[in-house]
Chains A and B, each alone.
Chain A
């Protein structure tokens, strides 16, 4: 029983690990911290996997657990970084077969997101991942009206950082 659960978890997680990597990139700014947060997310996912009923997609469930870990459980402060070396931000984005302008834009985007607070990061991340407002408000535990207001503010803030 435990074996089956483990095998299923490993395959579910392996396929969706990019979600966790993206969250780590948003909430951390160096390789060590990225690994640290990724490990904590993995631990939390496995610890709670038996409670995953399968009535939603694994990825949906994973967004919630991973974001909660980054926002509430991860010990190190993920406070906004004011100045950031661009090359450091792009520490793990491979340049090959990837357009140069796009690469720069992606770095700039991560750079800008790093300057937001934890909640704004979550909002922007869910927006970039195309999540509906209903899911965003349910994930964060705020009303959908409030989610919209906060989202608009976070977007404005991000725009101002990207295009001052």
Chain B
């Protein structure tokens, strides 16, 4: 007889669980709090959405003075409105992708849906990073193209500073700030999502293997 057939008999004959739960135990368990991966992804996702939203909201008013100094107020408020509309769209997708999760689905689609939520949040973060990058780029271009404006914004006290030196300092300090920010963000992603999604990615890969070949 095949080795596994033999073990299968052993499996069939295995005794029932000795610590059987009563209906009361099951009732209590069914009403306890879940600690599933999906729940954690939801919590981390909400924190991320909140983090970026608070960055938008916490920027001090004085920061916007630079825009009025540059006469860019109209353009800036247009982009702010657009920005918030896009954020609302992201929030909708985030919520909708959660609603779609159903454990009754087959394993592969279930993992796919869970990973989709992660992708929605990822795009949201990419979007915010792009906005930070593009808006500072635009601001720099406006500033650098006009040394009078640059002097006015960067040196309001009117100290005697060499314009070339000022440009260099401005650029270097921005680059350092961006690098620090990126490194922190990278660590955050590697750590949090690495832990949360390792198992799902591994199982998804395992399920998808061969699928294209057959």
Q: Do A and B truly interact?
A: yes
Q: Contacting A149 at CB < 8 Å: which of B33, B111, B214?
A: B214
Q: Are A10 and B23 in contact, CB atoms less than 8 angstroms apart?
A: yes
Prevailing SS type, chain A contact patch: helix
Inter-chain CA distance A4–B148, complex, in Å, is 78
Chain B CB within 8 A of A1 CB = no
**Size band of the interface chain A makes with B:** 35 or more
A109 CB contacts on chain B under 8 angstroms: 7, 10-11
Most B CB within 10 A of own CB, among A6, A71, A92: A71
For residue B106, give the distance in angstroms from its CB to the closest CB of chain A: 3
**Contact bitstring B100-120, A, C-beta under 8 A = 1, else 0:** 001111111111001000000
Q: What B residues does A38 contact at CB under 8 A?
A: 29
Q: Residue B29 contacts which of A39, A65, A97 (CB distance < 8 angstroms)?
A: A39
Shortest CB-to-CB span from B202 to chain A, Å, is 7
Q: How far is the CB of B192 from chain A (nearest CB, A)?
A: 13
Most buried by B among A38, A73, A109: A73
Whether, in the assembled complex, A45 has its beta carbon less than 8 Å from a beta carbon of chain B, the answer is yes
Cβ-based interface call for B200 (8 A):
yes
Q: Residue-by-residue, is A12-43 near B (CB-CB < 8 Å gives 1, otherwise 0)?
A: 01100110010000000000000010111011
How close is B211's CB to chain A, nearest CB, in angstroms? 6
Interface residues in B157-214 (C-beta closer than 8 Å to A): 198-200, 202-203, 206-207, 210-211, 214
Is the beta-carbon distance between A72 and B107 smaller than 8 angstroms? yes
* A143 at interface by CB-CB < 8 Å: yes
**Bound-complex Cα distance A162 to B207 (A):** 24
Given A43-B34, A77-B199, A143:B214 Cβ within 8 A: yes
A residues near B31, Cβ cutoff 8 Å: 46
- Establish whether residues B17 and A21, one from each chain, have CB atoms under 8 Å apart when the complex forms: yes
Q: Mark B1-45, 1 if CB is under 8 A from A, else 0.
A: 001101110111111111111110011011111111110100000
Instruction: Tell me the complex Cα distance, A78–B12, Å.
Output: 24
Q: Is the interface of B mostly helix, strand, loop or mixed?
A: helix
Q: How far is the CA of A9 from the CA of B29 in the complex (A)?
A: 13
Contact of B206 with A119 in the complex, beta carbons under 8 Å: yes
8 Å CB contact of A10 from B20, B27, B104, B206: B27
State whether A141 and B11 are in contact (beta carbons under 8 Å apart), knowing that A44-B34, A45-B30, A117-B206 are contacts in the complex.
Answer: no
A94-B18 contact in complex given A40-B34, A42-B29, A109-B10, C-beta closer than 8 Å: yes
Residues of B contacting A89 in the complex (Cβ-Cβ under 8 angstroms): none
Chain B: minimal CB distance from A119 (Å): 4
Question: How distant is the Cα of A50 from the Cα of B206 in the complex, in angstroms?
Answer: 31
Would you call A51 an interface residue if the criterion is a C-beta within 8 Å of the partner chain's C-beta atoms? yes
Instruction: For A141, list chain B residues within 8 Å (CB).
Output: 105-110, 207
Of A46, A77, A106, A159, the residue contacting B30 (CB under 8 A) is A46
Q: Which residue of B lies closest to A53 (CB)?
A: B104
- Chain B hits for A115, CB < 8 A: none
* Smallest CB-CB A-B distances: 5 pairs: A141-B108, A141-B106, A46-B30, A73-B36, A21-B17
